[in-house]
Amino acid sequence: MTTTTAGHAAVDGYARAWLEPDPAARRALLEQCWAVDGVYCDPLGQVTGRDGLADHIGGFQAEQPGARLEVVSGVDEHDGWLRFGWQLRAPDGSVALEGTDFGELDGDGVLRRIIGFFGPLPPGGSTS
Q: What is the pTM of this model?
A: 0.91
Beta-strand relationship, 81-89 and 76-78: antiparallel
Q: Show the domains of the chain with their CATH numbers.
A: 5-118 (3.10.450.50)
Can you give the pLDDT of all 128 residues of the chain as single tens digits?
Answer: 555 688 999 999 999 999 999 999 999 999 999 999 999 999 999 999 999 999 999 999 999 999 999 999 999 999 999 999 999 999 999 999 999 999 999 999 999 999 999 999 889 876 65
> Is 100:71 a contact under the CB 8 Å cutoff?
no
How far is 65 from 32, CA to CA, in rounded Å?
A: 25
DSSP string, 56-87: HHHHHHHHSTT-EEEE-S--EEETTEEEEEEE
Backbone angles phi, psi at 58, to 5 degrees: -60, -40
Q: Give pLDDT, residue 94.
A: 97
